[in-house]
Amino acid sequence: MNPLIHTAADGRKVVRLTPGKRALFLTKDLARIGAQLRGEVELGMEDVDLAELLDDINTDTMTPAWVCFRHRPEDIALDAYAGLIDEQGQRVFESRSLLDGGFEVIVSGQRKGTGSSRETAPQAERWSGVYLVIASSFAPIHGRNNVNLGQLMGDHDQLRRLQAGEEIPLEEFTSRLDPISAAIVEAGGLFPFAALYASGEVSVPALETPLRPMNMCEKIIAAKVVTGPDGEGAAPCVEPGNVCLVKVDGGYSHEFTTAQVHHFLSQEYGEDYTVQNPAKFAVFEDHLLYADGVERMAPFSDKIQALRDLQREFQRHTGVRDYSAQDGISPGICHQVARELFVDPGDFIQATDSHTCMGGGSNALAYGVGSTEYAGLVSSGFTIVRVPESIRFELVGELNPGMTAKDLMLHILDTYAKREETLDRVMEFGGPGLASLSMDERATLCNMATECSARSGICEGDDLTAEWIAARREGVTPDAFRARFVAPDEGAEYSGGVHQIDLSTLVPMVAEPGDPTYGRAIDELEGVPIDIAYGGSCTAGKEHDMDFYALVLSEALDAGRQVSPATQMLIQFGSEAVAEYAKRKGYLEVFERAGVQVIDPGCGACIGCGPGVSENREQVTISAINRNFNGRSGPGRLYLGSPLTVAASAVEGRIVAYTPGMFRTPTSV
């Protein structure tokens, strides 16, 4: 039970602050945070204007990669907010700062918890003694992780009242949640709630939604809804806000997260715990494969190896699919391999990574969850879902030469995500313009839905979808996948609206350092010199991405050009299948002649654990990965761009947009 929740004399549940405990205000003035941590300043809501509070606090800031090498929450809490760095490159939070500060409330601005699905972020707060998280809005996965840990989430007015000595009814905090999430918070977290559910003390309310047209997300959920743990009683219809028990078709974890899943299951159900349908689930070794080669990761080698060992222990114990590295080479990044081998149209997929939504490119509903929620669903085979709202993007026209799906996503981020129109919604992609995009480009769209703080992304299926998947599965015809397609009903509702985007009107873009939300047309940049150009990750390590890199570099070679002597360019494959594709197409020779360093499959620099990370704050990188939070890929400044932009910039030695034939005319570097 959350210690801020009390039972009043009349039996009502109320929330009140603990005398002597403190609230920490995360302000844009980082020195002011330091003063609070040192006990020099005590702030209340009356002392802080909302505009002064930090927005877009991402999970990398709360628990950077090296903190996640620990799998026990009590150890993670020792370095809460270790990724919050001041202008001098110094940590604002030293070790134990949050833990020893006597704080039980933490306060910030908009979109708390953007970025990765890592549950370590709210764990760092919870195990530091924080039980009430105040923000204007929360990123969806982060909010869900708070619920699963039994954390209270509130707004600034509620804190103002609490600090004035008021007791607030618990239902004021939980009324914004669905009934099951409210019950989870009141129970103290997902595992205590699961015990109550198993004993029959709580239940999932029956659905009584009348027949209505449904969008793709709603139709997939409706097909998986069950009325009880026996797996029977599918519901004919759902609508946003419905709370459902939903059967999960498959999922996966990786060496960054599996150890926690194993730890939680052992703690909750004993060393002999079991999982449901292990053939549907998998483990991957992809995130930390190259960490041993990164100098700043050397101090953590023992912890990294412990994570690998615990994942192997989990796999042996459960019998889930095994995609571990063999002889130091990984089968590939989990999201890429999953879409190649086992994500099918109409599937509902859950995994412990925010980019799980990449599976939506295959007409599936897929999104990331925290370790607690994943442990619960692999144990039971089901999970609790609050049906999300949706927003539809109707694509028309075709992208001009030199444009990619990455530019489209940077446009959506800078336009719709910035206005929070995508927040906690499923982004549905359709329209005639979608047919002009390859399957890999559609995967890019869905992959970066999480950068929009959306729940997920999903594309309509077509002949290309069926043929692409069938080509990667033995003994299955395209017709088998066509039969599984999910399409929106005529008249389906989209609370986020239907937005038409003419692909032909878009221009090449980059996201400026610090956050993928803030894009800028490349034409508006004033020749930014670069030190590193990186092409890879789940977002940009696919077959079509290799086509893009090879196109630009081949043109440069034909013109007598190579990668600029001032720039290091690296290309990393997303899977073994992609590496084989590049080899068949002759791209390896192109990359070698152009002066590119080629790397075997893995997440690498995207997670700051591999070649391509910056070494100091002065270095500038143009990267085709999905997010560019400060410190994620080293201490330098990181711009995001398309594969075409990355390759062209590598040749020029500065950030430029690619235009066909651009290397035929001599250019200055």
Q: Domain limits of the chain?
A: 5-198, 216-385, 388-505, 510-664
- Provide the 3-class DSSP secondary structure of residue 169: strand
The rounded percent of the chain whose pLDDT value lies above 70 is 98
- Provide the 3-class DSSP secondary structure of residue 356: helix
CATH of domain 5-198: 3.20.19.10
pLDDT at 435 over 60: yes
Say which residue the tokens 């086992």 belong to: 342
Measured CA to CA, the distance from residue 667 to residue 669 in angstroms comes to 6
Measured CA to CA, the distance from residue 602 to residue 159 in angstroms comes to 44
Tell me the mean pLDDT in the region 424-441: 98
Q: What pLDDT, on the 0 to 100 scale, is given for residue 650?
A: 98
pLDDT at 252 over 80: yes
Tell me the mean pLDDT in the region 478-485: 97
pLDDT at 53 over 50: yes
* Residues in contact with 483: Cβ distance below 8 Å, sequence separation at least 6, in sequence order: none
pLDDT at 611 over 60: yes
CA distances from 61 to 74, 86, 124, 638 (A): 18, 12, 11, 15
pLDDT at 597 over 80: yes
Closest of 597, 596, 595, 614 to residue 605, by C-alpha: 614
Give pLDDT tens digits for 273-298: 999 999 999 999 999 988 877 777 88
Q: What pLDDT, on the 0 to 100 scale, is given for residue 666?
A: 55
* Residues in contact with 327: Cβ distance below 8 Å, sequence separation at least 6, in sequence order: none
Residue with the larger pLDDT of the pair 261 and 381: 261
Q: Are 82 and 91 in contact (CB under 8 A)?
A: yes
Tell me the mean pLDDT in the region 25-42: 97
In which band, very low, low, confident or very high, does the pLDDT at 203 lie, cut at 50, 70 and 90? confident
Closest of 413, 404, 636, 401 to residue 520, by C-alpha: 413
Q: What pLDDT, on the 0 to 100 scale, is given for residue 227?
A: 64
CATH of domain 510-664: 3.30.499.10
CA distances from 244 to 156, 234, 388, 413 (A): 30, 10, 11, 30
Residue with the larger pLDDT of the pair 228 and 160: 160
pLDDT at 581 over 90: yes
CATH of domain 216-385: 3.30.499.10
Buried b (16+ CB within 10 A) or exposed e, 421-445: bbbbbbbbbbbebbeebbbbbbbbb
Q: What pLDDT, on the 0 to 100 scale, is given for residue 299?
A: 87
Measured CA to CA, the distance from residue 478 to residue 246 in angstroms comes to 27
Give pLDDT tens digits for 616-654: 999 999 999 999 999 889 999 999 999 999 999 999 999
pLDDT at 39 over 60: yes
Please check whether the two domains, 388-505 and 510-664, share a CATH topology: no
Tell me the mean pLDDT in the region 117-139: 96
Q: Which of 223-237, 345-359, 477-491 has the lowest mean pLDDT?
A: 223-237
Q: What pLDDT, on the 0 to 100 scale, is given for residue 236?
A: 81
Strand order in the sheet with 132-134: 22-25, 103-107, 132-134, 152-154
Burial label for 262, CB within 10 Å (0-12, 13-18, 19+), is buried
pLDDT at 669 over 70: no
Q: What pLDDT, on the 0 to 100 scale, is given for residue 234?
A: 54
pTM given for the model: 0.90
Give pLDDT tens digits for 545-566: 999 999 999 999 999 999 999 9
Residue 548: how many CA atoms within 13 Å on its side-chain side?
Answer: 31
Q: What pLDDT, on the 0 to 100 scale, is given for residue 117?
A: 82
Say which residue the tokens 């194993």 belong to: 262
**Helix boundaries (H) for 396-534:** 405-412, 439-447, 463-470, 478-482
Give pLDDT tens digits for 505-539: 999 999 999 999 999 999 999 889 999 999 999 99
Tell me the mean pLDDT in the region 318-342: 96
> Quick one: three-class SS letters along 246-267?
EECCEEEEECCCHHHHHHHHHH
Tell me the mean pLDDT in the region 146-161: 97
Q: Please provide the size of the chain in residues.
A: 669
| Average pLDDT value over all residues in the chain | 94
Query: Can you spell out the DSSP letters for 518-584?
Result: -EEEGGGS---B-SEEEE-HHHH-SHHHHHHHHHHHHHHHHTT--S-TT-EEEEE-SBHHHHHHHHH
Q: What pLDDT, on the 0 to 100 scale, is given for residue 231?
A: 44
CATH architecture of 388-505: 3-Layer(aba) Sandwich (3.40)
| Token digits of residue 155 | 């707004």
Give pLDDT tens digits for 71-84: 999 999 999 999 99
Count of CB atoms situated within 10 Å of the CB of 527 = 11
Q: What pLDDT, on the 0 to 100 scale, is given for residue 668?
A: 43
Q: Are 554 and 590 in contact (CB under 8 A)?
A: yes
